Amino acid sequence: MAEHNNNNNNRRNGEDRSETSDYTSEDEGTEDYRRGGYHAVRIGDKFKHSRYVVQSKLGWGHFSTVWLAWDTHKSIPERSVAN
């Protein structure tokens, strides 16, 4: 998870680009995918020696992007709920 050093990073042209604002968007903007910003992830990317395979983006907020990943070491899909 990458954090932004400036509180205005979610503002572009005076609009708050976070999910918690009235502004809604499926994309947080490509300008934040850079060193010191979000880590670039694409559907199909693999992590931890190919154990986890990215399936889809679930959402994004002020300081993070949430991705759904398949665990290739589990034969039965598990569901988990974050509170």
Residue 3 inside a domain? The answer is no
Contact 59, 15 (CB under 8 A): no
Contact 39, 63 (CB under 8 A): no
**Shortest CA distance to 42 belongs to which of 33, 77, 11?**
33
Q: Number of folded domains in the chain?
A: 1
Q: Identify the pLDDT of residue 83.
A: 52
Token pair in block for residue 72: 């290739």
pTM for the model stands at 0.54
Query: Quick one: DSSP state of residue 26?
Result: S
Model confidence pLDDT, tens digit, residues 58-69: 988 877 889 999
Range of the domain at 19: 11-71
Residue 40 inside a domain? The answer is yes
Model confidence pLDDT, tens digit, residues 7-21: 444 444 444 444 444
Residue 1 — very low, low, confident or very high, per pLDDT cuts 50/70/90? Answer: very low
